[in-house]
Amino acid sequence: MITSVLVANRGEIALRIFRTARELGLECVAVYSTADASSPHVAEADAAVHLPGNTPSETYLRADLLIEAARKTGADAIHPGYGFLSENASFARAVIEAGLTWIGPTPESIESMGSKVESKRLMAAAGVPVLTQLSDVTADDLPVLVKASAGGGGRGMRVVRRLEDLAGELEAAEAEALSAFGDGTVFCEPYLATGRHIEVQVLADTHGTVWAVGERECSIQRRHQKVVEEAPSPLVSRLPAMRAELFEAARKAAAAIGYVGAGTVEFLADDDGRFFFLEMNTRLQVEHPVTELTTGLDLVALQLSIADGVALPPAPPATVGHAIEVRLYAEDPAHDWQPQSGVLHRFQVGDFATSERVLRPNVGTVDQISGNIPDEEGAQNASTRRKVGVRVDSGVADGGVVSVFYDPMLAKVICWAPERETAARRLSAVLARAEIHGVTTNRDLLVRILRHPAFLAGETDTAFFERHGLATLAEPLADKETEELSALAAALADAAVRRTSAKVQGRLPGGWRNLASAPQRKTYATANGTYEIAYRFARDGRLLGEHELLSCTPNEVVLAVGGVRRTFRVAAYPGLVCVDSPLGPVALTPVERFPDPTAQVAAGSLLAPMPGTVVRVAVAVGDQVKQGEPLLWLEAMKMEHTVAAPADGIVTELSAEPGRQVEVGAVLAVVQAPEESA
């Protein structure tokens, strides 16, 4: 029997596994890099082992250090979470050879699905529908999708629409795949531009029972990585006959490789219900909470039970209601999804006390679910007694640092409701009211997706962003009028701070004079523009102007705007003021009256949009380039980012070279017009 579990992972998934392990009476062991020393998952563990270094290759990808940490702490099992070594057959084999329990499928199953080329051959032989692999691409085959055989998470993927681009995209995909996975093998398959990404959760025990535990739809993606996930699938719900076919294909896939544990079989489907095998993830998925909330199962508890040799009952529980999950990333969707790093001053999303155990009685381990599986009628009756609820799975905390070394996901926010529209509406409201200070996130994009008529109608294929316009969807929730009101609130809160710290006459309104004088001024900048705020107080403390000040403290300003009371919560940090209100969140940068002239850079300078590593450089000094032409590529937060020429011109300076680590704002190159460089 397992008594102590080491989680060979970090952040949110480590905390998620700890939560279940504690409920089962198991000891929790964490590992952490130097950058993660203050991470919440370290504080939550019963014991934690430091892995010296920051990068994954130095720490979470070191199988020897992870196994030694288990020995050192007395852990008798290792759970890999997802990502890192979770689908590494060599690691699984090393864990087993060390005499520890591996909480996952056999190394042989992992190897079978580790190569997309080999896995498709196996699935075709098992009778699972697959897309044809293209050996010689012709113009008639276009568009095609280049994929990394050993990859996942969108790494090494390229869409090719013109035959003349194929060679270059193959070369780029091979380089990225080799860097990310140590295997540069890539292949081509037909590209379905408007497909649906449907996946089936499977669970299999060591006694031959294979469950298909509901399906999920994960079609809304950026860079081939999922952003919104839900269960059940809107497409499958519209075509109910499709569900049985999907489940049968998923069970065949698992049985074909003798699968044991939790896994996910992923398919690409069209609107007519035809589907094709994509890959099998031999691990727990990021989006597993939507399955938990619609079935009442604890998938981590089931993983532990299966690893202990417990048999599954003949069939899984029925699904109830609808669950939607969004991935909250520290990234800027409006600027090519650039990941963001820095201090996360405040992170408050919904009620952190709420968990899936509040939303639905959690069934838990295999022993607990035996004889307790509701039929479809009982499940539907149960749904009428459940309330809408929100779950937040996060690995960050106020004051933490979003590192450049790892994935930029801050949290998964999940909502369950009896019907899909209610879940979407509740989830969007929770996100809109969240207080996230310090880094740019995709929060506003997520809210706009959840409120979009096409999403509410279930029209959620993989071309969602292209069809409805990423620029529109990524617009801030707060409009210019809200930004200006928020800037006024920030200025008034700042005046309140000065009043409370004044040694004399602190009770007088800021800027008050016995005689009429010029207004007080404060300037703030946002991504949309600059706002110069001018305000004056009357002798009785009233704010002169079109808005009435009802109350003001350093942290809260209440204004009457056109006769409507509005409350603004204000939080000031070095170089940043965050204002939250029901009108929308606003991040303001105070503009200095006398800026430092040494901070300016030469015209045409290309600055690093984020901290990262230069992986490739395509130009040299003296080269003539066109606007939009790729000059170099940066790798940060598990993603590769293109730095392109801002205008036609000549490369006059180039400070970037492969392997160089750069900080945000570093000058990478300078592109000048021909007449300027002469």
**Catalytic amino acids?**
283
Q: Which of 35, 12, 424, 367 is nearest to 230 (CA)?
A: 424
**Cα–Cα distance, 477 to 498 (Å, whole number):** 30
Q: Which of 36, 35, 98, 26 is nearest to 65 (CA)?
A: 98
Partner residues linked to 566 by β-bridges: 559
Q: Are the C-beta atoms of 417 and 430 separated by less than 8 Å?
A: no
Backbone angles phi, psi at 79, to 5 degrees: -105, 125
DSSP letters along 385-419, please?
TPPPEEEEEE---TTEEE-SSS--EEEEEEEEESS
Q: For residue 203, what is the enclosing H or E element? A: strand 196-204
Q: What is the largest CA-CA distance in the chain?
A: 90
**Cα–Cα distance, 331 to 223 (Å, whole number):** 13
Say which DSSP state 458 is in: T
Q: Are the C-beta atoms of 29 and 5 separated by less than 8 Å?
A: yes
**Cα–Cα distance, 247 to 342 (Å, whole number):** 43
Q: For residue 67, what is the enclosing H or E element? A: helix 63-73
User: Which residues 6+ apart lie within 8 Å of 272 measured at CB?
Assistant: none
Q: Is 400 helix (H, G, I), strand (E, B) or coil?
A: strand
Partner residues linked to 570 by β-bridges: 579
Q: Are the C-beta atoms of 233 and 217 separated by less than 8 Å?
A: yes
**Cα–Cα distance, 493 to 508 (Å, whole number):** 14
Structure tokens that stand for 543 in this block = 């704010």
Tokens 């070279």 belong to which residue? 657
Q: Are the C-beta atoms of 671 and 625 separated by less than 8 Å?
A: yes
Q: Which of 483, 104, 151, 112 is nearest to 306 (CA)?
A: 104
Tally of residues, the chain: 678
Q: Which of 154, 236, 314 is nearest to 639 (CA)?
A: 154
